[in-house]
Structure 1
């Protein structure tokens, strides 16, 4: 039986119940070390820019993602991006390996599929968020600010958004729809279990009001379903990045406050619901149209152990092969055909069963 994404860490001979929890602890230690290095780099930056109180101000405002302070914004985003190497370090040190199976059932990020998902997601979020702004402008002209003039500060903000937000989105996906989904998926075969468990944890990682948290929860549910249905993180990363880029670009242009949900209400959930449904339908259509690999080939059963005969039977020493004797050839087992993009997994070869 083929292995779905959420069971990749479980259905391998190298699996042990303690490995993924321990990998999480190692990832936390690695993240703490990387964060200390980032704080030191931030302190050096503020010294070079003659901002004596810059470090304290940044630490006090950490998590605000305020584009008015572009250096604060970049440092906050980098603090999230560091989750990627931390998770990879944890899984690489403890296992189960290879770490590429955090990305997809193909053992890597499928870049062509990622590009298609980025295109579809960008179109969906530009249309839905843009339509939401138009409706808000028609119903309440004071709710949407006019675009500010594009000066050097705005251009710098736009460049920073385009360059760093995709990595921030990927970092959150590797944590919530990657590591945690495979951790919970090792507990149950039912895909609904990791989907249900990872969604509230994703919500807990955001500091918003009620409607903002519900909005995050709806998106987290969509991303989890995308991951299960496509056998990888590419669609979820693309949707997450497209959504955040559109919101932060509008924020940089002064049209909205991307992280301020103080005036949010139930109608603000409509764009998220619509975009989620549309993306799920488009991704399902694209996956079928392209023949996307959604599961992993099953790992073969281990060979039966050959117990040595000891002591040897009496007749074993009575016959010696003549010179030039060669045993008759045995039929070789036909090679097992794997998906061409699937690298070896622990246990793929017979000797791997003892690792």
Structure 2
């Protein structure tokens, strides 16, 4: 039986129940060390540049994600992006390996598939969010905002959003839909369990009100479904990055406030519901059309042990060695030539 994404860590010869749980403290330690380096770099930046910000000011504004103060905004997103090397190094240190199976069932990040899903996600997100803004302006013109003129500071903010937001989005996906989903998936065969468990954890990482948290939960559920259905993180990363880039770009342009959900209500969930349904349907169709690999081929059974020989080698004659029957194995679907071995170190006799 083929191995789905959430079971990659479990269905490997090198699986041990303690490996992924032990990766958690390793991830924390690595992330803490990288954060210290980022703080040192930020201190040097504030001391050497003409920025109006300061290290204490950044500490006070952590989590605000205010595009008007670009220094703090970029540092906040970079502090989240550090989760990518932390998660990869944590899993690499404890196993299973190769760590590429944290990205997809192909053992690597499928860049072409990531690009295709990014195009789809950007179109869907732009249409749904843009449509909701148009509807809001028509139904309540008093709430309409006057867009900011694109001056040099706004242009720099938009450039920073395009460069840094995808890293922040990918980092959250590697943690929640990658490491945590495979951790929970190593305990159960049912995909619904890691989906249900990781979604509230993803919601808990956001400091919004009720309707804002429900909105985050809907997106987290969508990203988890995309990960399971496509066999990797690419579609979830694309959807996450497209959503955040569009929202922060509109924030920088003065159209909305991306992180302020004050006064939000049930109608504010409509764009997320619509975009989630469209994303799942469109990416599912695209995955079927392009034949995207969704599962990993099963590991063949190990060969039976050799019969004991007497006298033992090197004195045994060649004719004492038993002839092992060869069982024909039907060829599986062709894999990408860059696909590495199955995660984990294969013990002797498995190659």
Which TM-score tier does this pair reach, normalised by the shorter chain?
over 0.9
Larger radius of gyration: 1
Q: Deviations over 1:145-173 (max 9, x none)?
A: 11111100000000000011111110000
For residues 137 and 322 of structure 2, the distance between their equivalents in structure 1, rounded to whole angstroms, comes to 84
For residues 259 and 37 of structure 1, the distance between their equivalents in structure 2, rounded to whole angstroms, comes to 27
Confirm or deny: 8 A CA contact 1:185 1:191 kept in the other structure.
yes
Q: Deviations over 1:27-60 (max 9, x none)?
A: 1100000000000101111101256861001011
| Alpha-carbon shift at residue 328 of structure 1 (Å) | 11
Aligned pairs for 1:275-314 (under 5 A) are: 275-306=275-306, 308-309=308-309
Aligned pairs for 1:1-355 (under 5 A) are: 1-50=1-50, 54-306=54-306, 308-309=308-309, 339-341=334-336, 342-346=339-343, 351=348
For residues 42 and 329 of structure 1, the distance between their equivalents in structure 2, rounded to whole angstroms, comes to 67
| Count of aligned pairs between the two proteins | 347
Confirm or deny: 8 A CA contact 1:70 1:157 kept in the other structure.
yes
For residues 13 and 320 of structure 1, the distance between their equivalents in structure 2, rounded to whole angstroms, comes to 33
For residues 345 and 108 of structure 1, the distance between their equivalents in structure 2, rounded to whole angstroms, comes to 11
Gaps of 5+ in 2: none
For residues 77 and 228 of structure 1, the distance between their equivalents in structure 2, rounded to whole angstroms, comes to 26
| Alpha-carbon shift at residue 141 of structure 1 (Å) | 1.6
Gaps of 5+ in 1: none
Q: TM-score, normalised by structure 1?
A: 0.92
| Alpha-carbon shift at residue 306 of structure 1 (Å) | 2.7
Change (3 A) 1:329 1:300: closer
Q: Deviations over 1:207-226 (max 9, x none)?
A: 00000000000000000000
For residues 202 and 298 of structure 1, the distance between their equivalents in structure 2, rounded to whole angstroms, comes to 31
